[in-house]
């Protein structure tokens, strides 16, 4: 029997379990335990889990795990929640914080009691307007790594019926995110790790976005690195102005800002809400 003290948080609907090593001395996790804690029926339930620990050269160290127990990629909304958690729970009054994750240094700002700005590393591997075969058709897609690998697709480039070449999607609410996202996520072009898949539409200067996330293997209510990826791609292909406003599946707002010179992208930030749902203990 093991007892854990935890905090449940969400960033724009993307939800996480936070385990603080200060409150859980001797904390030891494995993939099976992470899956159990993140299970929405037999555990606490979350898209992912983070541990918070002391760091030598930063305010703290954050380790992120997907709900399937995998790790190795950046989580933008998780990073914003980790920043808010540390500011709120570690008696820290400095609103500009630095933390380590995946052997890299990151920083963020507490903007107010609700919102956090997170500074991402410069994106890599930008590839625009290539064709990918899925759902019985060739679909125009783009790729960029914003700390995690992301495919970005405007739903207006997807046929509703592959046999009808004149009808394209315009309604994101009814778009088959799970079916198409699952197929593209494990597409042979992105093996062996696969990629996250973002579908978006533009309305009134805003990006409406839905994301199928690897590691969760389902659609999530928001994805921070996916929001950054989609904003960058849309700024180039749709001439979208920055800062970009994105509306998540949860109906929450994320703001992505960056500097763009041709296709060179720098100083990427992700801002939005980071809320505590509840605190608790669980015995496994």
Q: Which residue's entry shows tokens 């625009």? A: 128
pTM of the model: 0.95
- Give the span between the Cα atoms of 51 and 59, in whole angstroms: 14
Q: What is the pLDDT of residue 116?
A: 98
Q: How is residue 252 written in tokens?
A: 């929450």
Verify whether residue 223 is a known catalytic residue.
Answer: yes
Number of C-alpha atoms within 13 angstroms, CB side, residue 245?
A: 7
Q: Which domains does the chain have, with CATH numbers?
A: 3-114+275-283 (3.10.310.10), 124-273 (3.10.310.10)
Report the alpha-carbon distance of residue 77 to residue 211 in Å, rounded. 13
81 catalytically annotated: no
Residue 47 DSSP label? S
CA atoms within 13 A on the CB side of 48: 34
Residues in CB range of 264: below 8 A, 6 or more apart: none
pLDDT score for 261:
84
**Distance separating alpha carbons of residues 134 and 164, to the nearest angstrom:** 15
Phi/psi of residue 29, nearest 5 degrees: -125, 150
Write out the chain's pLDDT in tens, 284 residues: 889 999 999 999 999 999 999 999 999 999 999 999 999 999 999 999 999 999 999 999 999 999 999 998 899 999 999 999 999 998 778 999 999 998 899 999 999 999 999 999 999 999 999 999 999 999 999 999 999 999 999 999 999 998 888 899 999 999 999 999 999 998 888 888 899 999 999 999 999 999 999 999 999 999 999 999 999 999 999 999 999 999 999 999 999 999 988 768 999 999 999 999 999 999 98
Supply the pLDDT for residue 199. Answer: 98
Strand ranges (E), 183-263: 196-203, 206-213, 218-220, 244-247, 253-261
pLDDT at residue 92, rounded to an integer: 75
Q: What is the pLDDT of residue 191?
A: 82
Question: What is residue 164's predicted lDDT score, i.e. its pLDDT?
Answer: 85
Q: Rounded to the nearest 5°, which phi and psi values hold at 262? A: 55, -115
Q: Are 98 and 85 in contact (CB under 8 A)?
A: no
């Amino acid at each position: 029997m093991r007892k854990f003290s935890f905090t449940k948080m969400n960033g724009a609907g993307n939800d996480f379990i936070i385990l603080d090593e200060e409150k859980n001395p001797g904390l030891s996790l494995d993939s099976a335990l992470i899956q159990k804690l993140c299970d929405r029926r037999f555990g606490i339930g979350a898209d992912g889990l983070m541990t918070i620990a002391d760091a030598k050269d930063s305010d703290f160290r954050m380790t992120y795990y997907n709900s399937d127990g995998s790790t190795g990629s950046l989580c933008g909304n998780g990073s914003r929640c980790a920043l808010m958690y540390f500011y709120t729970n570690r008696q820290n009054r400095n609103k500009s914080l630095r933390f380590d994750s995946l052997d890299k240094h990151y920083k963020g700002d507490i903007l107010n009691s609700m919102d956090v700005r997170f500074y991402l590393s410069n994106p890599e591997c930008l590839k625009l307007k290539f064709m990918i075969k899925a759902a019985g058709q060739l679909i125009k897609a783009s790729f960029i790594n914003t700390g995690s690998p992301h495919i970005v697709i405007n739903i207006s480039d997807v046929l509703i019926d592959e046999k009808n070449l004149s009808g394209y999607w315009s309604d994101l609410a009814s778009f088959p995110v799970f079916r198409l996202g699952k197929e593209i996520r494990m597409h042979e072009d992105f093996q062996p790790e696969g990629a996250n898949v973002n579908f978006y539409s533009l309305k009134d200067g805003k990006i409406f976005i839905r994301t199928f996330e690897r590691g969760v293997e389902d659609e999530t209510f928001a994805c921070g690195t996916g929001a950054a990826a989609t904003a960058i791609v849309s700024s180039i292909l749709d001439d979208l102005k920055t800062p970009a406003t994105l509306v998540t599946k949860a109906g929450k707002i994320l703001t992505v800002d960056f500097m763009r010179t041709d296709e060179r992208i720098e100083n990427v930030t992700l801002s939005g809400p980071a809320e505590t749902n509840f605190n608790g203990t669980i015995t496994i």
